[in-house]
Amino acid sequence: MGTDEAETQRVSAFLGYVLGLETEHTRTRDLEPEQLKQQIFFAVQTVIERRLEHNALLLIVEDLHWTDAASVELLRYLVDRLPDRQFMLLVSHRPTAELEGFSSAHTAMRLEQLSLDNSALLLDTLSRAR
Residue type, 88: M
User: Percentage of the chain with pLDDT > 90?
Assistant: 39
- Per residue in 72-127, pLDDT (tens digit) is 899 999 998 998 999 999 988 887 656 565 656 677 778 888 899 999 999 999 99
Domains of the chain, residue spans: 1-54, 56-130
**Given a cut of 60, is residue 57 above it in pLDDT?**
yes
CB burial of residue 17 (10 Å; 0-12, 13-18, 19+):
buried
What distances in angstroms separate CA 2 from CA 46, 47, 82, 93, 115, one per listed residue?
11, 10, 19, 34, 49
Residue 92 is predicted with a pLDDT of 87
Residue 55 is predicted with a pLDDT of 94
Alpha helices in 53-89 (DSSP H): 69-81
User: 18: which residues sit within 8 A by CB, 6+ positions away?
Assistant: 40
Mapped onto helix, strand or coil, the DSSP state of residue 5 is helix
